[in-house]
């Protein structure tokens, strides 16, 4: 267990950040899943920018790798344009 005040604070802040990262990551995964299941082109086209924005934010904060975000965005864009 940590002995210093700063180490105890670091543990508390890491827990908060971990929970926030998990929430954002799970929310984005659900949005991607929802977008993949759509069959209506108009609805998918309107949802795509918000999902791309979520992926960019995760990549910017290093929650997911930048290349993974790029791959997901590319596949989603191809899927939506093919509808």
> Does residue 77 surpass a pLDDT of 80?
yes
> Does residue 2 surpass a pLDDT of 90?
no
Sequential DSSP letters for 40-80: -HHHHHHHHHHHHHHHHHHHHTTSS-HHHHHHHHHHHHHHH
Q: What is the CATH number of domain 5-82?
A: 1.20.58.110
Are 37 and 43 contacting, i.e. CB atoms less than 8 angstroms apart? Answer: no
Return the percentage of the chain with pLDDT > 90, whole number. Answer: 86
């Amino acid at each position: 267990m940590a002995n210093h005040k700063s180490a105890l604070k670091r543990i508390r802040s890491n827990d908060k950040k971990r929970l926030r990262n998990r929430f954002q990551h799970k929310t984005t995964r659900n949005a991607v899943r929802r977008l993949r299941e759509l069959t209506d082109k108009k609805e998918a086209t309107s949802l795509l920018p918000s999902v791309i924005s979520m992926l960019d934010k995760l990549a910017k904060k290093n929650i997911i790798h930048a290349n993974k975000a790029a791959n997901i965005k590319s596949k989603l864009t191809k899927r939506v344009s093919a509808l």
